Amino acid sequence: MEYKTILCDVKEEIATITLNQPEMRNPLSKRTTEELTDAIEKSDRDPHIKAIIITGAGKAFSAGGDINEFKENFMKTVPALHMEGRESTQLFKLGATVKTPMIAAVNGPALGGGCGLVAMCHIAVASKEAKLGLTELRLGIVPFVILPWIRRAVGDRRAMELMLSAEVVSAEKAKELNLVHRVVPHHELEAETWRLAKTIASFSPLAVKLALDAFYTTDQMDLMKAFDYLSTLRIVSFCSEDLREGAAAFLEKRTPVWRGK
């Protein structure tokens, strides 16, 4: 796919995906959603990529849905809207299916769908200048697609408050709510996010993939079945080349050379 609304750059085993319509505050249009989905899936399939950073160009991370597209929806049939909705939902399903850690570098306002994108990422680092919120009700719509990620991030009661108040909160408040994990001065955002991505990239890629598998697969699982499933993954880990290499490197006081096997 030729990217027209995003940029994708790979450097030192890290893919940086940048929403690149700063003059429009990086809306999550149908085109952008398709491009983001494609870029994330391609990065996840690439064995050389160990972490994915998602950020925005200019002063905004993402202001959410494209208002012009909302107007166009008035002229579409119910089946057409249903199919387009299923396509856009694919982006937000990726948070639970990709096995490459995604880090949000929240450089500015992340509203509506943009806030959902932050909540979907496995780790979120925000600039002190960032603001986050579910502003959909101000426009007479509901944050349907992103609601599962928001309530997983902040809990049921907080999610209800954010949705019904449509309040835009500061980065520090977003951290209190668990929408983001870390808040740093704006000029330190890129360096802090890169440092975190490099740390993750330094670990065994097999162990990282197993960690995400363990976390999401057991999320809705019966407690006893979860123990059984995790015990199986434990065997995979114990029989891996990476674990043997990690143990040897520790004893020999050297940097491990991971093979992802």
Distance CA 73, CA 104 (A): 29
Q: Which residues pair with 253 in a beta bridge?
A: none
Active site residues: 136
Which two three-digit tokens encode residue 235? Answer: 């065997």
Task: Give the number of other CB atoms < 10 A from CB of residue 171.
Answer: 24
Angle between helices 30-45 and 78-93 (to 10 degrees): 40
> From the CB of residue 103, how many other CB atoms can be counted at a distance below 10 Å?
23
* Measured distance CA(51)–CA(56) in Å, rounded: 17
Cβ-count burial 198-229 (b if 16+ within 10 Å, e if not): eebbebbbbebbbbbebeeebeeeeeeeeeeb
Bridge partners of residue 188, in order along the sequence = none
Neighbours of 157 (CB within 10 A): 9
